[in-house]
Amino acid sequence: MPPRPTPPSTRPVGAVTRGTTNPNRLRRMDRWIAAMHGPALRRSTETPVAVDLGYGAAPWTALELMRRLRTAEPRTEVVGIEIEPARVEAARPYEREGLRFMHGGFEVPLPQRPLLIRAANVLRQYDEDEVAAVWRRLCARLAPGGLLVEGTCDEIGRRHVWVALGPDGPRTVTFATRLGSLDRPSDLAERLPKALIHRNVPGEPVHSFLRDFDRAWAAAAPYASLGARQRWIRTVGDLAADWPLTGTGTDGLRRWRQGEVTVDWNALAPSSR
């Protein structure tokens, strides 16, 4: 008698992260998502679902994501997905209307396609050549008009860099910081996502961008007497002359005032080797 076929594995895809998390760590990323992706959440004819993928050892980031997205669309539901079963069980007491937790990984085991997947501080432990495949897998799970936000921040949320991707692939890169903590824009280099962090070397676009960012920051030094925000706004305005920043004009200024700047992905994408 031939052997029985082996049933397909139900093991989640991915590896366990360190799980480090702190309240309000992802506030800058969340506020950007609510502002930029809020219209897509509101247009949804079904209940919009967002995923906090790899939320870590405590459920704070999922709770905060739900609250912030509901300021944009009150119907939004958030699902926290973790590859470590013990973390899921620890999060269960925090479940409530609009928030639940489940075991899983990059396969995103939901019956419906989410309108948002946020993967913060998840891919830093992976190799650079693994990132594209993870991006493709996650983007394939998005609903039409959905968004994947993948990036990195420091432990208390002062400095972030993230990539926004749609079902068609990467679209933009956003740099966000608490301006009072910034010596120069290239300080954000240590928070570049895995797809870019090893490309911050001469000859790569992201290195050229950060070099020009620092030069514009130095040129805007006279504005420091008006405060770090005014210096940042002047810096980003000058940077827009040479780099394809998104959201220029009134909307862009509103984001710049938050200590953000968003650049077209194609301008910073790694060069081929």
Tens-digit pLDDT profile for the chain (273 aa)?
344 333 344 688 888 877 678 889 999 999 999 999 999 999 999 999 999 999 999 999 999 999 999 999 999 999 999 999 999 999 999 999 999 999 999 999 999 999 999 999 999 989 999 999 999 999 999 999 999 999 999 999 999 999 999 999 999 999 999 999 999 999 999 999 999 999 999 999 999 999 999 999 999 999 999 999 999 999 999 999 999 998 756 668 899 999 999 999 999 999 975
Residues 91/83, Cβ–Cβ less than 8 Å: no
Tokens of 50: 């967002």
pLDDT of the residue at 273: 53
Among residues 147, 141, 138, 121, the alpha carbon closest in space to that of 61 is found at 121
225 residue type, one letter? S
Tokens of 222: 């006279």
- Strands, E, within the chain: which ranges? 49-53, 77-82, 99-103, 116-120, 147-153, 159-166, 169-177, 260-264
Residue 45 and residue 115: Cα distance in Å, rounded?
Answer: 12
Q: Give the three-state DSSP class for 157.
A: coil
pLDDT of the residue at 2: 40
Residue 257, by phi and psi: left (phi above 0), alpha (psi -120 to 50) or beta? alpha
pLDDT of the residue at 204: 98
pLDDT of the residue at 7: 38
In this structure, what is the dihedral angle of CA atoms 147, 153, 36, 241, given to the nearest 10 degrees? -110
pLDDT of the residue at 90: 96
> What domains does the chain contain, in order, with CATH numbers?
14-177 (3.40.50.150), 199-261 (no CATH)
| Cβ contacts of 67 within 8 Å, gap of 6 or more | none
Q: Tell me, what DSSP letter sits at residue 179?
A: G
Report residue 170: phi and psi, to 5°: -65, 140
